[in-house]
Amino acid sequence: MAVQKKRVSITKRRQRQSSSYKVTLPELSVCKCGFYKQPHTVCMGCGQYKGRQVLKIKDKK
């Protein structure tokens, strides 16, 4: 069994762990109405999901 010779410092441990931790932007797709939305969600511009009207959206006047 492998045993380390020296203790790994907190700084080195955090540097190694930080390589897999990063903020990513959410994926966006364009709806038929032109609004950007996340995939598999209802469009807040037109209220449609998979071509069906799901929400009633009031027009801003």
For 16-25, what is each residue's pLDDT tens digit?
Answer: 888 777 788 8
**Between residues 43 and 59, the one the model is more confident about:** 43
Q: Any idea where the domains of the chain sit in the sequence?
A: 25-56
In contact, 52 and 43? CB cutoff 8 Å: no
Rounded to whole angstroms, the Cα distance separating 40 from 33 reads 16
**Two tokens, residue 60:** 């801003």
For 9-48, what is each residue's pLDDT tens digit?
Answer: 999 999 988 877 778 888 999 999 999 999 999 998 899 9
In contact, 32 and 46? CB cutoff 8 Å: yes
- pTM for the model stands at 0.54
Give the dihedral sign, CA 47/53/57/58: positive
